[in-house]
């Protein structure tokens, strides 16, 4: 595979079927917008954003385009949180 320093170039050249977004918290927003613009499903490592405006923009883009996504909150799928919700 190739190494890219620019997400836009990578998306345009590699034409992935899905994207795994793993960035430091302060860097979230721009790459997600590029992926959403191309209507690609993606997995994003937490946190989605460090501010609510960015998080809302990502969520709205996902909903508008009906994209399949997930965030790396691994505890979400464990038994403990499910049990708490049941209580």
Is 0.75 topped by the overall pTM?
yes
Domain region containing 68: 27-86
| Residue of 66, 74, 67 whose CA lies nearest to 46 | 74
20, part of any domain: no
What are the pLDDT tens digits along the chain (87 aa)?
A: 899 999 999 999 999 999 999 999 999 999 999 999 999 999 999 999 999 999 999 999 999 999 999 999 876 667 777 787 788
- Label residue 71 exposed, middle or buried (CB < 10 Å: 0-12, 13-18, 19+): middle
15, part of any domain: no
Number of domains in the chain: 1
Distance CA 26, CA 3 (A): 22
- Kindly report the CATH number assigned to the domain that includes residue 64: 3.40.50.720
């Amino acid at each position: 595979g190739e190494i890219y320093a620019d997400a836009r170039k990578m998306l345009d050249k590699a034409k992935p079927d899905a994207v795994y977004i793993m960035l430091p918290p302060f860097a979230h927003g721009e790459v997600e917008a590029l992926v959403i613009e191309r209507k690609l499903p993606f997995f994003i490592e937490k946190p989605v954003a460090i501010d609510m405006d960015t998080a809302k923009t990502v969520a709205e883009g996902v909903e508008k385009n009906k994209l399949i996504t997930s965030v790396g909150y691994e505890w979400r799928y464990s038994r403990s949180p499910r049990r708490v919700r049941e209580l």
